[in-house]
Amino acid sequence: MADTIFVTGLSLHAYHGVMKHEQKVGQTFAIDLTLHIDLAEASRSDKLANTVSYDQVVDVAARAFCAHRYRLVEAAAGAVADAALASFPQVSSLRVTVHKPHAPIAATFVDVGVSIERSRA
C-alpha cells in the first residue's frame, strides 16, 4: 500500500537510557512515524471519519513513549508501535524511528537511533 500518514520530528522529553544520568535527567528525543493506511475513501469523502487524525497519532505516540522509563530506545519505539496499532485499526503497518541526538557516545555524530516496522499479523 502506498498511502501513508506521517509525523516527522515529534520532540518528546523522556528518561530512556542505560546510563544513570539519562534516567535521572532525561533528554529530548525526536520521533518519526509513518502509518500505512488506505486513504482512498478519505480522499473521496473529505471526512475525518475515514482517516486517522494527526493529533490523535501524536497523543497516542507521546503517551506510549513517555509512560515508562525504558533502558533501550528499541523498547520505547516498540511501545509506540504497539500503541498505534492498538489505537488505529485502519493502520495496516507502520514505521517508528526514534532519534537520540544526545546519546552518550564518545564520538561526533549527526544522528543515532532506531527504526522499527510493525504490521498486523
Of the residues 20, 24, 47, 100, only one is catalytic, namely: 100
| First-last CA distance in the chain | 16
63, 121 Cβ separation under 8 angstroms: no
Q: Based on the residue annotation, tell me whether 20 is a catalytic residue of this protein.
A: no
Q: What gap in Å lies between CA 29 and CA 113, rounded to an integer?
A: 9
The letter for the amino acid at 31 is I
**51: which 3 cell numbers?**
482517516
Beta bridge partners of 94: 35, 118
The letter for the amino acid at 41 is E
**109: which 3 cell numbers?**
555524530
Catalytic residue set: 100
